Amino acid sequence: MTTASTTLSARIAEIAGLQNVISDPAHLAAYEIGGKIPSAAVRPESAAHIADIVRFAAAEKLATVPCGARTKLGMGMPPRQYDLALDMTRLDRIVAYDPGDMTLSVEPGIPLRRIENALVEHRQFLPLIVPFMDRATAGGTIASGVDSPLRQFYGTARDYVLGIEFVTGDGTLTKSGGRVVKNVSGYDLHKLMIGALGTLGVLAKINLRTFPLPAATRAFVAAFDAAAGAIALRHAIARSPLRPLVVEILSHGAAELTSTAPSYKPPWSLIASFAGNAEILERCARDLHRMAEQSGAAAVEPIREERLFVASRRTCEFVPAALASSPGAAILKLSVVPANMLEILDAAAKAADAAGLPWAALARGVGVIYLALLPPSRSEEALARVARATNNIFAQCAALDGNATIPWCPSEWKAALPVWGPERGDLGPMRALKKVFDPHGVLAPGRFMGGI
Amino acid sequence: MAPATIDPRLLRNLQKLLGRDAVLHKPEDLLLYEYDGSVEVARPNCVVFPRTAEDVVGIVRLAKRHNTPLVGRGAGTGLSGGAIARRGGIVTSFARMNSILEVDAENQRARVQPGVVNSDLSLAVEHLGLHFAPDPSSQKACTIGGNVSENSGGPHTLAYGVTTNHVLALEVVLPSGELVHFGSAALDPAGYDLTGLFVGSEGTFGLVTEITVKLTRLPEATKTLLAIYESVDDATETVVEITARGITPAACEMMDGWTIRAVEDYVHAGFPLDCAAVLLIEVDGLREAAEYEAAEVADVCRLHLAREVRVARDARERDLLWKGRKNAFGAVGRLSPTYYTQDGVIPRTKLPATLRRVSEIGKKYGFSIGNIFHAGDGNLHPIILFDARDKRQFANAVAASDEIIRFCIDLGGSITGEHGVGMEKDRLMPLLFSEVDLDLMRRVRDVFNPEGLLNPAKVLPTAKGCGEIHVRPAAAAAGPASA
């Protein structure tokens, strides 16, 4: 250990207590991002701790990256500089839960699983079924902006986060929004925190709306020989009066990775799930079967739902499974309006095939597609192939007015790949906001789009 | 009152830019633009009517060159003074930017100009089985640009969400004169959620010139129930239990007996005159789901001693019930020279206690306070009737309303659920937010609006740590207010 890091640890221990400081290199390695290891990690136990630590970091120009279960630190660019990890896992309490009002207030380090257990007693839940579900924390989920298969019906975090308390880059504890389900007092600054990867503030408390658990759900998987059929069924469902909780289209590879493949392993499948009483579910099943047949489905099978959302609990792990399946996995996130889904899926498949890359695709019915490029190695050659396919796909996505990013890929490839997609026209205001929230540039510097 | 004179060079430049028929500047022409749906009044120096985003850019540049305040305005139905030129200057009316530019049924999107009237969009896409879900009570007049600025709600936001949940992309002219695009028709644009930040910024960040919204599929079936109660407490407890049963109605509205009598006299919706409260509850979705939920809701109503539960038999009966609800403010307006509507929000489990408190506050100040509100999400609209010409009554109305709002805050609620802060509640913001919170909001506003020329003296309190009761100028007669 260097003298500098010893001094740093000692000073942080004065703020947060010795027991909350990690300075031993063996343990610090767990906080690695893109090959960078921080000089210290600290586990704040209160919002005041966070504010004091960030204020200290700002004064000392220490680049600070907040983290929870560290499952999504690979998202975005590696920070330009990385001195201090702010480990939020000791801030893991439910601060308030009002089942009657259906509102919940939590500290950021709480695992989603614990929230789920607390809410299920009251037959409620959060529609956040996200990658690394067994470990993911509330704060990491909000800060990374990952989505849930249930967004088809429930929307994304921006639709049900009611307010956030956060610490800005100068160490100020502040907030926006509130704890009630309807509120227009003041600017919605908390919306900026969602998906900001900790570059604007460190989350200290998150207020969320909770939802009643459906009495029962039923999920089906329809099998198709080509993506066109699955997309046609997606469109038919959208035109129908059905209100599915989930609509997802999976390539054979994605179905295999998430253990949702129908028994006879078709090239494409569509998963749909519905909620309601027996009569409603019967109607949904009937209508779905009819529409699937009209869309040319080879078969429709029920998915055994031994517990609620069982299919989503599998498909939400598509990204982790893809990352584990290939040493050079790159996950592209492509979003287009639904009418363009088939075109971009076809383009993506062609580009990956042309680059000689195995691939798997999971498309949410709302038009958000995760494409995993799965080279067999992490070599320079693999990077060249991934870069070729990505550039091709991104160009076609841009031509369809879509959005494209690379949320995950090997960190040493990031400099060579368009991680944040093409440059946007609104980068100017984003940079200006970064200056307001983090005037000293100490919060995860460089992790966000445009070097923010 | 701000002087209604305008710098002649600015006037000439505006006329040159937009044409003479697109600039109002005579005092008698400006009168209408002193008001919105709130009790606030201030006179602009002129009103301009752009037709294109380029016009708006030109207006913004002129305002900047002449160092003149600039305020955007839709239909002027807002209830917090958002569209009033508090510091005078140029009011930019979007009345002539009212085209629906594109309807994309397949993708359930529409691209509209800001002056499109809310219900006109829903009517235009009805034949496609779609609608624009946010439905403020003023939806037959209010514009989508105004909805974006205020993040407007409405009765059906309980299940469908408020404006921000339905806005995907914006074209905005910033006070610098720069035209920028936030968001995209495709979901999840990369970068910070500037669209989310912008919606509800009450016209203080920029002037919206184009909006891309989501369109929602119309439900297969809708069931509208009217539950009639002898006691307000029974009605409020019903609301709490409906939610506890895991049912999220499309709408759950409450009116107390006092309001019902005012409404019935005017609208003839068939509300009983001798009850203490009614709940207007709507469930929708698949036929089977609407049937099931309607039966469950009726069951809960009866369990909580509803005297009668009526189910609208057809669209005509349903429309009549909603007409009663949506015209309630107009009906109340007939009873009094002035009324003042609050917009507090409370956790919905606190409804019974809150309504008792509101009634006590009314008694204390000697006012009739009607209660009509979005019960399902705890968004209250107590209506205080008073005569603004009487200074003492005016001060008492403000005091009573402040007491109600403070009670909401003490329960963990908010000062405004859907009407906005505007120039009406800016002084109450310190009750919710610390000086540190407000300072950050101020600096975020300054990113977009650094010189403060756009909609000045709104949302954030102008004087530090203020909390004083300001005395408003003579209040407007009740207009077509909404909630």
> Would you kindly state where each structural domain of chain B is located, as residue ranges?
8-93, 100-217, 221-331, 336-419
Residues 9-48 of A with CB under 8 A from B: none
d(CA B20, CA B260): 47
Structure tokens of A276?
């309601």
pLDDT exceeds cutoff 50 at B467: no
Annotation: CATH topology of B221-331: Alpha-Beta Plaits (3.30.70)
CATH of B8-93, one of 3.40.50.920, 3.40.50.720, 3.30.43.10, 3.30.470.10: 3.30.43.10
Structure tokens of B342?
């609050």
Please indicate whether, in this complex, the C-beta atoms of A368 and B104 are within 8 angstroms of each other: no
Chain A residues in contact with B459 by the CB 8 A cut-off are 186-187
pLDDT exceeds cutoff 60 at A1: no
pLDDT for B355-381, tens place per residue?
999 999 999 999 889 998 899 999 999
Structure tokens of A325?
């399946």
Q: In angstroms, what CA-CA distances link B21 with B14, B25, B33, B47, B50?
A: 11, 11, 16, 11, 11
Beta bridge partners of residue B388, listed in sequence order? none
Chain A residue closest in CA terms to B442? A187
pLDDT for B115-132, tens place per residue?
999 999 999 999 999 999
Pairs of residues, one from chain A and one from chain B, whose beta carbons lie less than 8 Å apart? 242
Structure tokens of B427?
């002084």
Supply the mean pLDDT for chain B: 92
pLDDT exceeds cutoff 60 at B239: yes
Can you give the pLDDT at residue B333? Answer: 78
- Report the percentage of chain A scoring pLDDT > 90: 95
Confidence of residue A263 (pLDDT cuts 50, 70, 90): confident
Taking alpha carbons only, the member of B23, B93, B447, B190 closest to residue A402 is: B190
Confidence of residue B341 (pLDDT cuts 50, 70, 90): confident
Chain A residues in contact with B199 by the CB 8 A cut-off are 188
Please indicate whether, in this complex, the C-beta atoms of B188 and A368 are within 8 angstroms of each other: yes
Dihedral (CA of B69, B75, B78, B81) sign: positive
Taking alpha carbons only, the member of A237, A289, A298, A307 closest to residue A269 is: A298
Interface predicted TM-score of the whole assembly (ipTM), two decimals: 0.97
Structure tokens of A438?
């983090």
Can you give the pLDDT at residue A2? Answer: 58
Please indicate whether, in this complex, the C-beta atoms of A194 and B190 are within 8 angstroms of each other: no
Question: CA-based angle B280:B282:B285, to the nearest 5?
Answer: 180
Can you give the pLDDT at residue B472? Answer: 41
Confidence of residue B4 (pLDDT cuts 50, 70, 90): low
With b for 16 or more beta-carbon neighbours within 10 A and e for fewer, the A306-326 pattern comes to: eebbebbebbbbbbbbbbeeb
Chain A residue closest in CA terms to B147? A184
- Report the percentage of chain B scoring pLDDT > 90: 78
Same fold, B8-93 and B336-419: no
- DSSP structural state of residue B463: S
Do A21 and A34 meet the contact criterion of CB atoms below 8 Å apart? Answer: no
Q: Which residues lie below 8 Å from residue B198, measured CB to CB, with a gap of 6+?
A: B148, B170, B172, B182, B205, B206, B208
Question: CA-based angle B186:A128:A236, to the nearest 5?
Answer: 45
Q: Which residues lie below 8 Å from residue A380, measured CB to CB, with a gap of 6+?
A: none
Can you give the pLDDT at residue A109? Answer: 98
Can you give the pLDDT at residue B468? Answer: 36
B127 CB near a chain A CB, below 8 Å? no
Do B125 and B215 meet the contact criterion of CB atoms below 8 Å apart? Answer: yes
**What is the dotted CATH code of the domain comprising B336-419?**
3.30.70.2740
In order of their start, the domains of chain A are 3-89+439-451 (3.30.43.10), 94-212 (3.30.465.10), 217-307 (3.30.70.3450), 328-409 (3.30.70.2740)
Chain A residues in contact with B156 by the CB 8 A cut-off are none
B462 CB near a chain A CB, below 8 Å? no
Name the one residue in this structure whose structure tokens are 């990775």: A257
Q: Which of A119, A164, A165, A183 to mutate to test the interface with B (most CBs of B within 10 A)?
A: A183
The single-letter code of the amino acid at B255 is M
d(CA B81, CA B59): 22
pLDDT for A139-171, tens place per residue?
999 999 999 999 999 999 999 999 999 999 999
Chain A residue closest in CA terms to B292? A277
Please indicate whether, in this complex, the C-beta atoms of A200 and B108 are within 8 angstroms of each other: no
Can you give the pLDDT at residue B471? Answer: 37
3-class SS shares of chain A: helix, strand, coil, % to 5: 40, 25, 40
Stretch A344-366: mean pLDDT, rounded? 98
Can you give the pLDDT at residue B387? Answer: 86
User: Which residue among A178, A191, A405 sits closest to B193, beta carbon to beta carbon?
Assistant: A191
A338 CB near a chain B CB, below 8 Å? yes
d(CA A85, CA B156): 44
Using DSSP bridges, classify how beta strands A173-177 and A161-167 pair: parallel, antiparallel or unpaired: antiparallel
Do B387 and B393 meet the contact criterion of CB atoms below 8 Å apart? Answer: yes
Please indicate whether, in this complex, the C-beta atoms of B441 and A189 are within 8 angstroms of each other: yes
B407 CB near a chain A CB, below 8 Å? no
**What is the dotted CATH code of the domain comprising B100-217?**
3.30.465.10
